[in-house]
């Protein structure tokens, strides 16, 4: 990620990216005590960027209150990437915030009301490597009729409390992915960027293909070979895995 700690730096960076042919940006950052990214100081700048560049603007939001969801939509945010959690104990013990599943449900609804595209992200094994709340999260996602769903997999991260944690078994991911495919037969499902990259990488990506996943962020070469053997048409797209087809198809090649 490119650091833009001030509205001015964000504005300059986005204008630079637009001049080089970019069609969109993803805005992210750390959450506050209420569980959302404090975009308030950046709203006027986001609106200015949208007006002057036409960039497709995605944002990791967190548990935004309705007033902020409305302001972000008015400023020109096109898509909200929303981490959706379906268990109260996971929210408290893993995220460390005093929120509930109902808070996530409410915020998801606020975003769907005020922002054109909302993409639920569900992390398999978030509760210390075991399934807890993922199927409830799928039910909540179905309430907003999303255009796309992103599945993630808990990954041990160096320097964190989860450094030595064992990722969930691949079969656990399969259960969630298959359920998601059955619940959402007409939308794309993506295997997102947060997932184990070393041990079991190919097996996870192959299971994703078998389970009906349509998009995989930076798949391995073996996965691409398997996809072709399964009769799939492989397309390389230069965009975040949650971006709509209509935007992706007009995307840019960063190597040009």
Instruction: Look at residue 43 and tell me if it is in a domain.
Output: yes
* % of the chain beyond a pLDDT of 70: 96
Report pLDDT for 254. Answer: 40
Residue 226 clears pLDDT 70, i.e. is over it = yes
Instruction: Specify the DSSP class assigned to residue 171.
Output: H
Instruction: Look at residue 98 and tell me if it is in a domain.
Output: yes
* % of the chain beyond a pLDDT of 90: 81
Report pLDDT for 243. Answer: 92
Instruction: Look at residue 99 and tell me if it is in a domain.
Output: yes
Instruction: Look at residue 255 and tell me if it is in a domain.
Output: no
CATH number at residue 13: 3.20.20.70
Instruction: Look at residue 172 and tell me if it is in a domain.
Output: yes
Residue 255 clears pLDDT 70, i.e. is over it = no
Residues with Cβ within 8 Å of residue 181, at least 6 apart in sequence:
189, 211, 212, 213
pLDDT in tens, 17-74: 999 999 999 999 999 999 999 999 999 999 999 999 999 999 999 999 999 999 999 9
Tokens describing residue 175? 């259960």
Domain count, the chain: 1
pLDDT in tens, 192-212: 998 987 777 899 999 999 999
Task: Identify the CA nearest to 150 among candidates 161, 134, 132.
Answer: 134
- Give the structural domain span for 153: 7-248
Report pLDDT for 237. Answer: 84
Instruction: Look at residue 226 and tell me if it is in a domain.
Output: yes
Report pLDDT for 256. Answer: 34
3-state secondary structure 186-253: CCEEEECCCCCCCCCHHHHHHHHHHCCCCEECCCCHHHHHHHHHCCCCCCCCCCCCCCCHHHHCCCCC
């Amino acid at each position: 990620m490119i650091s833009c700690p001030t509205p001015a730096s964000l504005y300059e960076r986005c204008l630079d990216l637009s001049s080089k042919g970019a069609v969109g940006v993803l805005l992210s950052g750390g959450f506050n005590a209420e569980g959302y990214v404090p975009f308030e100081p950046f709203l006027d700048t986001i609106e200015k960027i949208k007006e002057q560049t036409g960039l497709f603007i995605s944002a990791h939001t967190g548990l935004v209150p309705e007033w902020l969801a409305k302001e972000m939509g008015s400023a020109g945010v096109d898509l909200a990437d929303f981490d959706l959690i379906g268990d109260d104990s996971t929210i408290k013990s893993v995220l460390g915030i005093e929120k509930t599943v109902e808070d996530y449900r409410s915020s998801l609804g606020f975003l769907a009301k005020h922002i054109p595209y909302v993409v639920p992200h569900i992390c398999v094994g978030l509760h210390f490597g075991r399934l807890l709340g993922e199927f409830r999260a799928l039910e909540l996602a179905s309430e907003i009729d999303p255009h796309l769903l992103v599945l993630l997999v808990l990954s041990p991260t160096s320097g964190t409390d989860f450094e030595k944690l064992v990722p969930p078994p691949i079969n656990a991911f399969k259960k969630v992915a298959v359920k998601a495919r059955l619940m959402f037969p007409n939308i794309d499902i993506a295997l997102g960027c947060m997932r184990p990259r070393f041990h079991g990488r190919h097996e996870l990506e192959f299971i994703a293909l078998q389970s009906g996943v349509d998009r995989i962020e930076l798949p391995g070469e073996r996965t691409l070979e398997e996809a072709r053997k399964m009769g799939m048409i492989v397309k390389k797209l230069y965009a975040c895995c949650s971006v709509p087809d209509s935007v992706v198809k007009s995307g840019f090649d960063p190597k040009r």
